[in-house]
Amino acid sequence: MCTTYVAHTIAQRLQDRERDGRSDGTPAPQPLLVRLNPAVEHKTRGNAAVALHTTLDPAEAVSIVGRVVNRLAEADDPNTNPGVVAAPDDAGWSGIDDNDAVLAFARAALWDHLTIADAERVLGVTGYQSESWGNGRGRIGALAAVGAWIGRRRALEADASATTGDREGTGGGFTDWTYECISYRQRERWGTPREVAEESVYRAAEEGYPTVWDTVDRDERELVCVPHTPCPILHGVRGDDPDACETVAGAIESEPVATRETFVTNQGTDAHLHDAEHLDSVADGRAYRVAGTIGSRPETKRGGHVFTTLEDDSGAIECVAFEPTKRFRDRVRALGPGDRITVCGEVSDGTLKLEKFAVRSLRRTERATPTCPDCDRRMESAGREQGYRCRDCGTQAPEKVEREIERDLESGWYEVPPCARRHVAKPLVRGGFDAPTHPER
């Protein structure tokens, strides 16, 4: 079952119970939707975890959560292993050692691989209440979501005090946040084709851009915000501002929306990327930002996947743009040996799956067989180490010449189109890159 829908249902139950018990009417903070290391194998679709806030007692909260999970999660499915963790609301405050451990755990869940034993160790230290179904793996994501909240809170505190200036040190990995307004379908429609008025989505997307992004893919004519899975989501609108996301969601004409929730999320932030100094420090199961030189002419292989090789003094790695990345493959095909670029993507089986790349410098000339200045014909080899010679007039040339090459790329960042974007990958239109950008929309 869709993680965000379970979370939304839980949030509603918690709020209902809070209303019974207290009357100050302050709204709960927005729920937090965190995407963890996309390279982890055992995961929910998109490796998502959610953190919710409640004024209820932890034991009561856990019991409410348990009832909803029992009802909604497909707990008999061996691949479904939900987990719940309840942390006190001092999460975020510096000076509480436990919070450092939980934040470190969340970073590891974002950047590396964790075991159930890792989660149990931190739960043991903090004394947080937890509950799990199946093999208990869900507690990893649940604990990481608490840690992500700590990171966010610390980043906000650092911003507010404006004295520390070291956002990365305080909230590292969880400093950049975006929003997603998710609209859910009526239960009786789950699994049936979604009724969404296509033109209204393009119109709303255009209105909201660039604050709201990845709503549609204009070139592929695809409604990116509408999922294809039989899940309860009707559409999810992503962007930098919660109100702008809600406005776009509200402007989409469709079947009735059963309910709606706006999440704070690390989607579209590149939070998963490690900066690697050299190619020999790149390892499977993690995602990187790393520089190098193109070693081989890109090659389109069976299935339409485009492969090339990136090299530096320390080694080499194969890079691939898969068929679903569509027009991005033309950008990769336009690269050539000698080009210096920076690539971003996840590494598995020794291959980096390209999410974006930056052209740092392009090779503008190549060594070529000379052309005869008189006949304008390609010369031919005059024999080993004998230089070149025109067959028609006999003009000779001592060696190959530098010839200018036409290039179809410019300096700066290129990215996969919205239809192929991974949840956590940052769209170029969001800005903050170290070179000019060529955003896809």
Query: Given the rule CB under 5 A, which residues bind Zn ion?
Result: 372, 374-375, 390, 392-393, 395
CB of 371 to Zn ion, least distance (A): 9
- Taking residue 73's Cβ as centre, other Cβ atoms within 10 Å add up to 19
* Residues 164 and 175 sit within 8 Å (Cβ to Cβ): no
Crossing angle of helices 138-161 and 116-126, rounded to 10°: 60
The two three-digit tokens of residue 119, written as one number: 């989660």
CB of 405 to Zn ion, least distance (A): 24
Q: Closer CB to Zn ion, residue 283 or residue 375?
A: 375
DSSP count for the chain of H helices, then E strands: 9, 22
CB of 385 to Zn ion, least distance (A): 21
Q: Closer CB to Zn ion, residue 375 or residue 435?
A: 375
Q: Closer CB to Zn ion, residue 165 or residue 373?
A: 373
Classify residue 371 by its DSSP letter. Answer: B
CB of 372 to Zn ion, least distance (A): 3
Q: Closer CB to Zn ion, residue 290 or residue 372?
A: 372
**Residue found under tokens 């971003």:** 344
CB of 373 to Zn ion, least distance (A): 8
DSSP-assigned beta bridge partners for residue 428: none
CB of 403 to Zn ion, least distance (A): 17
Q: Closer CB to Zn ion, residue 166 or residue 380?
A: 380
Strands 32-35 and 257-265: parallel
CB of 290 to Zn ion, least distance (A): 47
CB of 380 to Zn ion, least distance (A): 11
DSSP-assigned beta bridge partners for residue 358: 342, 413
Q: Closer CB to Zn ion, residue 372 or residue 420?
A: 372
Longest dimension (CA), the chain: 99
Q: Closer CB to Zn ion, residue 63 or residue 395?
A: 395
Degrees, nearest 5: CA angle 117-172-267: 85
Distance CA 7, CA 44 (A): 14
Crossing angle of helices 97-111 and 116-126, rounded to 10°: 170
Classify residue 82 by its DSSP letter. Answer: B
**Residue found under tokens 């993680």:** 3
**Residue found under tokens 């890792």:** 118
Q: Closer CB to Zn ion, residue 15 or residue 395?
A: 395
Which amino acid does the sequence have at 298? P
